[in-house]
Structure formats: structure tokens, C-alpha cells
Chain A
Amino acid sequence: MAVTRKKAAPKKSSTKKSNTVKLKFDTGWSYDPAPESRSAATIKPQYDLFINGQWQKPSGKKYFATTNPATEEKLSEVADANAADVNKAVSAARTAYDKVWSKMPARERAKYIFRISRMVQEKARELAVIETLDGGKPIRESRDFDVPTAANHFFYYAGWADKLEYAFPNRQVAPLGVAGQIIPWNFPLLMAAWKIAPALATGNTVVLKPAETTPLTALKLAEIIQEADLPPGVVNIITGAGATGAAIVSHPDVNKIAFTGSTDVGKLIQRSIAGTNKKATLELGGKAANIIFEDAPLDQAVEGVINGIYFNQGHVCCAGSRLYVQESVAKTVIRKLKDRIETLIVGDPMDKNTDIGAINSKQQLETIHRYLDIGRREGAEMWESSCPLPRKGYFCRPTLFTNVAQSNRIAQEEIFGPVLSILTFRTDDEVIEKANNSPFGLSAGVWTDKGSKIFNLTRRMRAGVVWANTFNKFDPSSPFGGYKESGFGREGGLHGLMPYVDIK
């Protein structure tokens, strides 16, 4: 009998022991749906432009629809601002700057910003629901990351308003005037906070344009700003597409452009303001290297890589989209990654169990698919999760490529989707050279147990944010922004004040 029992015991691998248990979620257990209720949110059927503290009809009388990318249903329609509307918004901001905001005692300015922060917290649930409906990101991320971080950003910068002389040793600072701010669709409310909070704290007034696919939380923020009784014209929020953005950039009475978006548009902006005195902050694309050394705690590293590339469907400019694994552990890491990816739940963004929600728009889904084709054509090996996708809406399975060459387009260009390119290396110097061989320089990640190696790597990475043994962490007090073609200027922290002041 003893012999039989021995035979029946699970056969151990003769080569390497694996200490990970592969969880079979499909057969082991399943999750019941846990949908967040839509009832927490009020979405009006139509939104006008928020100019000079009032809701104003667009002078072109045009509106466009904003849809839920998870269901393709229309959520609302928002005004399409033309050049005349932009002009109205800029002159409202100018008047508010001249007459009110630049004359107000700094401590009073601070209190307005604190008030906005508190109201964002009060309406956190509503904002999270709308963010998820309009943009497709999992409710867990809107609820636990986007909205609280946005509220905290206002709170952090509010406190700076009456302390600016401490931030710039031996110098006096003055606000710039009217700031034109254009933000992307990946973190709509959070990016609005990143732009508006430091601008107001330093005494500037604002004309902000959210992205055309995700305007709703910015418009909700406009309602909060109205409710907070912020003097009319200090913040103006206008909706529209590229033409509206271009009108803001080229308006002669705008003193400062703050833009977050693609590197191509960033370059266009720098060109179009070439003959002016406008200042600019550009927070652009990235292709972050995430580097795993053989001595790293591999399970933690795998979690970090997953968070690094699949957070927010990979719609993250600082996403860890280039994974460099030391050759000796490459096989293990790739296996662990695939096992972990198989457990990711892709589907209804409103479901609290969902890990990966909807791709933000049909257009973006097409871009991602184009890159998947390019990757295969270039000879890389594609692997994707076997998870089912909802029949409606824009979804993409978490995907990875192995056998990627440094010169492949999927290793050089920003895909902005849940697609990981995996490359390997042998030595420290080799991986530093490979990681830095990119026109981008927004972020980087390093995983190793050795402290001196961490600092060698973090010092030599040409990137504005470097995460060691962690990834995709953000905080209002922590400066964020790129080297090289990832843009210039910093957002967050003490350094985030600098782009909004004139140092005298």
C-alpha cells in the first residue's frame, strides 16, 4: 500500500521547484457580479460651457455626444466651444485675474482651494461613478485612486498659496496671468486637479479644456467650483475637440500653456507658441523601462509589472510598457506573469471586482490593435489572456510580447494600451543603455534586492520619475514630469509651483 500511496503523490519536477501555486479561478471559484450603482450620480442630458461662473450656450450652437465606452451608449451631450467661446472664456479669466484673483490676500485664495478639495471629497462617490461611466476605467480605480488623489491635490496646493516666499529661496514670485490648460482622457478629473490646483495657488486664473471623450467629471468639477462660490471667471471650463484646444493655445491673451497629452501634439504646441512670450509645461508620452534583476523578489516584481502596465488599461503615460528581465530569471518571470494575467478580470468597469475596464474609445482600441499587428509582423511573439470579453463596448485582453527586439516599434513607440513588450539583458551596463535608448524619459522602474544597485540604476536612468521596487505611485507632494521628449516642467510638490510663477 505504501508503494501505491507514493505513486499517487503529485510528481515533483525534476528540474526546478516552483513555489507558486497556479490558481485556477475559473474552476476554483467565481465572482458574483458586484456592480456599483449608477444612482449615486446625476448626469444631465446636456452641458453648456462654464464661463465667468455661469453656464453659457456655445455660440456655434453645436453639441457633441459623450458615450460610455463599456456599453457604447450615449451618456450626455456637451457643448462644442469655438474660437468665439474661447475668447469669451479667456477674457473672463483676464478680468477675474486683474480685478479679483491677483488682488485677493493669498490666505483667502487658499481657503477657496481648500473648499474645492472638501467638496470633491463630499461628492467622491458621484465623481467616481461618472469617471468610470464616461471613461471606462474600473470603478475600484476611480473610487480608490483618481478621485481621492484629485481631492488631495487641491488640498496640498491650497496650503501653498500663502507660503510661496518659502518655496523660492531669496526670490519674490509673481503669477503669470491666464493659464490655458488642456488635459487628456486617461485621468480626466485627476488631470484637471493637477492643472487647476497649482495655477490657482500661485494666483493665476484658468481656462481648462477636458478631452472630448471624457468631459463629464470636469463639468462636475465646474459645478463644484460654482457651488464653492469661487469668484466668476477664475476657473472657466470649456469643452470641445482639437480645434478648441488650438484656439486656447493661439489666443494672444493667454500667458501660459499647460498641456498633458501626446508628444506629437506637444511639439505642435511648442511650434505654435514659438513667436510669443507664452510659457509652457508639457507632460507628454512615455515608454517606461521596468527592469527586473535576478536577485529581485520575483513575486513582488511580477505584481509591480502587472500594476505598471495594466493599471487603467495601460492608458498611462508613465506605464511600464518595456519590461527588461535579466536572462537568468526570464523564463520564470514570464511564466509567473502569464499565470497572473490569467487571473485578471476584464469586463464591466462598474463591477467592483473588475481589474481591467473598457478601452477609452473605439479609436484607441483600433490604435492598440494596429500595434498588435505591427508587433506580430515584426516577429515578436504575442500572448494574450484567455479571458472572455464582453460582446458590447471596447475591450482588449491583457497582452504581452516576448522575443522583442530593441528596434521593434512595440519597444520604441507608446501604445497606450494593455500591451507589455518583454526584452532581456545580462549586465547592469547593458540594461542601462537599452533602457535609456528611447526618445522618451518620463518614468522607469527597477526591481532588485541590492541597495547600491538600486541607486546606481535610479541615478543613471534618464527619467523624471523612478520607482524602485514599486511602480505607478503618485502623490500630490511628489513632483511628476519628464526628461527628453516626454516634456518639461513638473507637476506636484514644491517643484510643481515653478511653472506657474515668474521668479524675480
Chain B
Amino acid sequence: MRLEVLKTYKLYIGGQYPRTESGRYYIARNKAGAQLANVCLGSRKDFRNAQVAARGAVAGWSGRAAFNRGQILYRIAEMLESRRAQFIDELLLQDLSQAAAEAEVNTSIDRLIYYAGWCDKFQQLFSAVNPVAGSFFNFSVPEPTGVVSIIAPQNSPLLGLVSVIAPVIAGGNTCIVLASEQKPLSAITFAEVLGTSDLPGGVVNILTGSVKELVSWFSDHMDVNATIYCENDSSVQSSIREKSALNLKRVFFYDKKDWNSEEGQSPYFILDTQEIKTTWHPIENIAGAGGGY
């Protein structure tokens, strides 16, 4: 007889797997009430540590060649594929049916591939060379907004998580994500995938804990540029918009999305966390010269 080795589910901050600094935990249970694991009950301080890691990673990640970001997203998909069985098992533990669990994992892998392909293409789609009146070369391009805080979907523990993280990092942003509160196991196991995917530490930081407790820190931090919330609790939405006004965060609610469908993926998700920058430069225009015609 062999005793099973249980996994300690920890946070993912700056490429490391620390326990919550608060030392607190909560019990993740399945529908029947059986205990699945002790999970870190993340704190405000954990969020702040993650923010520091995320901010520190912006320059490096946004400075990577878009092609390279695409390769890394593809590598994440590879790592997820190789652990398919593990993720399906974990989703079964969290009350998904066999068919639903398989679909969730398969679609998650495909979604990463989808966004891997967008990394070096969405810029061309959303850029413009602007025909200004005057002797100037003028163009507009999307740039990452910076650090994005994300409260992940509650009922789609892996696919929902992947669907909100992928477009944000495909666009060169970094993020701090709060995993599904009731079904947190897949998020932490996904952090292990990220940790073995050449993704620089700090680009994605994953916390577990209470939405109610952490949501205000996700929306009122002065050095976070945008925030995403995926549930339709209108009082939470209202509070997020109000707190985000402190530093004019860009706010997005993905509360009506079916992550299993085609509408769960689109380059417009990438565009949400992009800023449009317009650059002007004069064109020398010597009087009397007729150009090259």
C-alpha cells in the first residue's frame, strides 16, 4: 500500500510559488462537500506583491518581439497539451462531467494557439497611417496599456481563466489574476504550466482567495492600468467602476460571454487592453521639387 502525495496549492507571483503572506487558507470543496484541498486565502499584501512583480515585468515583456510572444503563447499551449490528462482529472474533481472536462481542456489549448497566432498580427489590423493635410508622416499603433488586474470567471475554472489571460498577455501587458473562488485548483495547476513555458516571471501572477475581500484592491490600486471583471454582480461592477476612477483605470466587464463558443475569442479582446499611440513627423518638402513622378 502506498500513501498518495497531496499537492500544496500555492500562489504564483513573480515566477515563484509562495504561500500567502497572510498564512490564511480556505477549503476548496466539491459539490458534495468533500474537501479537495487547502487553498491560500490571498490577502491585500499578496495583491501588492503581485502588482510589483507585474509592473516590473512590463518593460521586458512588452519589449519582446511580437513574434517571440507568439512563440511563448504557443509553448504554453504545448505544456498544457502534455498535461491534458491531469487537467481533466482535476476538473472532474471540481464537478465537471467527463465530456465537459475534456471540452474545457481542449478548447483552452486551442484558445492559446488562437492567441499565439494573433500576437504579431493584431497590430496590423488596428493600426493606421493617417492621411493628414500637411507635410507630415502620421501613424497610429496599439501599445499595451501596462498592468491589468483580472477577476477570472467563476464557473469556467480553466477555459475562462485562459480566455481572459491570453489576450491580455498577447498584447504585451502583464496581469494579476484572481482565480475562480469555488474552483481554484485548475488555476494553480495552470500556473505550473506557465512556469515551464518560457514565460518570464511576473507576466502572469495568479492569486486565490475571496472575490469579495480582494475586489476593491484589484480596482483601486494606483499603479494598475486596467481591470477586468467577468461576473454580472451589479453592485461589484458599480464598485469597480467607482474605485477605478481614482487613477482612471480602463474597466471591462466580460459578464455575458460564453467562453465555450466562438464569441469567447476575438482580436477585439486584445484591443481592449491596448492604447492607441499616434506619432507625427514632418516630411521635408522643398519648394519647387516635384517629387519622384
> A residues near B, CB below 8 A?
152, 169, 171, 263, 266-268, 270-271, 273-275, 282, 284, 439, 454, 458, 463-470, 473, 475, 477-481, 483-485, 487-488, 490, 493-495, 503
Contacts and interface: CB of A to CB of B under 8 A. Distances in A.
A28 B136 CA distance: 35
17 contacts: A273-B241, A275-B238, A275-B242, A282-B248, A464-B275, A465-B279, A466-B280, A470-B282, A475-B133, A477-B130, A481-B276, A483-B145, A483-B277, A485-B247, A487-B248, A494-B128, A503-B268
Nearest to B263: A504
A499 to B, nearest CB: 11
B248 A493 contact: no
Nearest to A481: B276
Contact of A467 (B247, B250, B280): B280
Given A270-B245, A282-B248, A493-B140, A478 B281 contact: no
With most chain B CB atoms within 10 A of its CB, the pick from A169, A274, A466, A480 is A274
A385 to B, nearest CB: 28
A298 to B, nearest CB: 16
6 nearest A-B pairs in the assembled complex, by CB-CB distance: A475-B132, A270-B245, A274-B241, A274-B242, A275-B238, A477-B130
A271 B247 contact: no
Nearest to B244: A270
Contacts of A465: 277-280
Given A477-B130, A478-B138, A478-B140, A468 B278 contact: no
Interface in B82-118: none
Nearest to A461: B277
A495 B268 contact: no
A195 B138 CA distance: 22
B225 A484 contact: yes
B234 A275 contact: yes
B130 A473 contact: no
Given A263-B248, A484-B247, 4 more contacts: A274-B239, A274-B245, A458-B279, A469-B282
Nearest to A493: B130
Contacts, number: 105
A468 B136 CA distance: 10
B292 interface: no
Contacts of B133: 152, 475
B60 interface: no
B281 A469 contact: yes
Nearest to A169: B125
A479 B132 CA distance: 11
B131 interface: yes
Contact of A271 (B145, B245, B282): B245
B132 A477 contact: yes
A118 to B, nearest CB: 17
Contacts of B288: none
A468 to B, nearest CB: 5
A475 B281 contact: no
Contacts of B277: 458, 463-466, 483
Nearest to B125: A169
Interface string B46-72: 000000000000000000000000000
B128 A493 contact: yes
B246 interface: yes
Nearest to A471: B280
B275 A483 contact: yes
B222 to A, nearest CB: 9
A451 to B, nearest CB: 9
B290 interface: no
A475 B281 CA distance: 13
Nearest to A455: B279
A409 B44 CA distance: 31
A117 B237 CA distance: 40
A479 B245 contact: no
A503 B271 CA distance: 12
A267 B136 contact: no
Nearest to B135: A470
Contacts of A470: 136, 280-282
Contact of B268 (A171, A439, A477, A487): A171
B117 to A, nearest CB: 15
B23 interface: no
A467 B242 CA distance: 33
B134 interface: yes
A275 B131 CA distance: 40
A230 to B, nearest CB: 26
